[in-house]
Every structure is written in C-alpha cells, then in structure tokens.
Amino acid sequence: MDDPKLGRFEVLAEIGRGAMGIVYKAKDPMLERIVAIKTINMGMDRDGAEMYEKRFYQEARAAGGLNHSNIVTVYDIGKTDTECYMAMEYIEGAELRTLLLPGKPLPVPRALSIAAQVAEGLAYAHERGVVHRDIKPANIMVPESGAVKITDFGIARMRSSSVQTQTGMMMGSPKYMSPEQVIGKRADHRTDIFSLGVILYEMLTGTTPFTGESVNAVMYQIVNFVPPAPSAINPSAPAALDAVVAGMLAKSLEERVQSAAEVARGLRECELQAQGAATTATSTLPLGSLAAGATPTVVDREVKSAVLAQTLERSRRAEDDTPAPDAAPARGLSRTFDSLEATQRLVALSDVALTGDPAAKHPLPLSMQATSTALSGGWRPRDTLVVAAGAVSGLIAAAIIVLL
C-alpha cells in the first residue's frame, strides 16, 4: 500500500486478500504489540459502500463487545478517505479449512478439542445476544499454541442491531448452512450449532455430511438427506459422539440441541472417554438425524414436513410482530413479499402437499388441489344462471346499439 500506516498502526505486511478488502499484519507503536488489520475498500458504488460499511461496523460491535478466550479480540476501528479498518488480535496459526483435507479426518482428540472450544465461544456469544450465522472452517483460527479463535462476525445478528438483512436473503456458506437458512428463514443461535455440527462431522470423517456437484445440490441434501453416523465412516470415533453430532444436525429446531453450552459439555464428556477416563455421564441427545448405515438416506417425509411447516409458521409470526411501515403497502400484496421468499414458500408447499394419487407425476399445492377438485365436478346451477344472465344482458345491449 502507498501509505504504510492506518491510523496509528504501522503496516508490516499483507497476510490476506479478499473481494472486499485486505488483511495486514501491523504494529501498534503505542502498546508495542502486533495486530491484524482488516480493511474494507470503500471505492465502490455509494449504495454498496454504505451497506458494507454498516456491516463492517456491525462486525466490530459484535466482536468488540465479546471478551472470551475463544473469540478474537477487537482493539480498535477507524476510517480513512478510501477504506475502513479494524485492528484485532493477531493469531499465529492457520485457518481450520487448511487443516481439513478430503478423505483425511483429524485425530479424534484434536477434533473434539477444536469443536468444544468453538462451542464454548459460541455459548458466550449467544448468552449476550450475538448469533454468528456464518460458522465455517475459514472463520476458525487454530493457533500453534493456545486457544482456538472464532473470527469474522461480518454477518452476525445482534438483538440491538439496526443493520437488518432482507427477509428471505440467504446468509452463510452453502456447505455449512442450516435447513432454516437454506429455505430463507430467520436464523437464531441454533443455526450456529448446526453449522458447528457440520464442521465437527467433517473433522471426524474427512468429508462434509452434505455434498453435491452444485450449490443447489448441496442445499437440497441439507433439507432432504441425513448422513451416516461418524463412527460408521471412522471407527475410531466413539459411539457417544454419534449422539452429540445427531443432536447438532437435527433438522427440526425443537429436536436440535438447544444451547452451545450443552454441546460443549457433551464434547468434553467425549474427550474424557477418548482419553480413557471413566465417566458416568450419559447423553440424552436425539439420534434420529443420522442414517443407520454407512450411506446417506432420504429424510422421513413427516420430519421434512414438520421442518418446513415450522419455519413457515415462524415466518408468519415474525410478519405479524413486524411494525407497519409508514408507507401503505401495495394493495393486495403482503408488506414482506419478495420473489425469493414467495418462491421458497411455493416450493415448500408443493413438495409436502402431494395429491392423493401416489402415481401422480406432478404433485400439486393444497390450494391448487382444491381448485382442481372444484373444476372436475362440472358446473353448478348457480354458475349456469350467471352465464345465462350475462348472455341475455349482452344481447339486450347489442339490440339497443343497433336501434340507435
């Protein structure tokens, strides 16, 4: 960069680059410590720059308000004429994604330690109203020594946040998204638990539980398939760990583990078992979200219907709770209508509302089934009278026009 300083920080080297900005290694001369400086380039269109600047400051507020050994520490934020920057803790280590190689699982004790530390960091954030919403290996730093760190709260949601995401907008990385994120519904703290479950599964087996040749294929599997248990792929994984993973990957929010603290406790118990220590604790987490064999299986239709109905109902409740906007909505349209959400709801209803004929090639939504049933019964007497009256009225009008 032309200017080797950002605010009071002396830039030493570039350590990472992305589409929106650069990460530098820098020195704080006042405190004599090395920091990482994350920047966002503001040289873009005005609307885009404002959106990313708001999200950048939201990340700073989200992470800056958290003081935990497993969450990266934010020291300072600032702005120049061309970019915003954030000074944070510099970590000597690697992103977890660089440690995950296809077909090569991590040693079970190491996988358990990493996942437990991430769960403990998430539990702390969730207790303070911060949901990360983009937990993935690239956002987990594994240092050479010391605690694992959660980074990048760029799309985090806070209870007090004024930066809102559009209803139906997908936030997160496809392979690590939860079912509710896939169908575009509001993500709460249990979304982070699901994403961590995907990461834990990948660390234990050397592959993600939901795979495909395209983003759409991966997202379809997240909603429609359950993966085999980790122990079915990696015999060194303890059986008790299957219960923990199953609870984290449950598609229904009610069946999923309800807190990251509970996940951390379950993983610490498994650590003790893996080390050969005696423990009398037993897991009560659900087992139904994993396949019985060594291959994925299609999710039970009743489970899928419950997931879709649950998220649709949650969305309707959210709409009811949303204060009315100042401007009146377009007549006949919901104030929260957008094409993505409408499409998602139509797909959801079309997929779960099958016709009574099991051989039907094209299942219909419930509303279309009702219409189809009404049409198949022929005209009712009232319909005939209405059409006849209309025809007579037309003839009378034509006669008057001719006479004039």
Of 193, 164, 165, nearest to 253 (Cα)? 193
- Chain length of the chain: 404
In this structure, what is the dihedral angle of CA atoms 111, 113, 115, 117, given to the nearest 10 degrees?
Answer: -160
Separation between Cα atoms, residue 384 and residue 246, nearest integer Å: 59
89 strand-pairing partners: 35
Q: Which residues contact residue 173 at a Cβ distance below 8 angstroms, ignoring those fewer than 6 apart?
A: 134, 136, 138
Question: Which helix (H) or strand (E) covers residue 10, if one does?
Answer: strand 9-17
Task: Give Cα separations from 148 to 112, 275, 301, 359 (angstroms).
Answer: 12, 20, 39, 53
298 strand-pairing partners: 225
CA angle 368, 372, 375 (to 5 degrees): 140
Which ranges in 17-107 belong to alpha helices (H)? Answer: 46-64
Q: Which of the residues are catalytic? A: 134
Q: What are the structure tokens assigned to 277, written together?
A: 């220590």
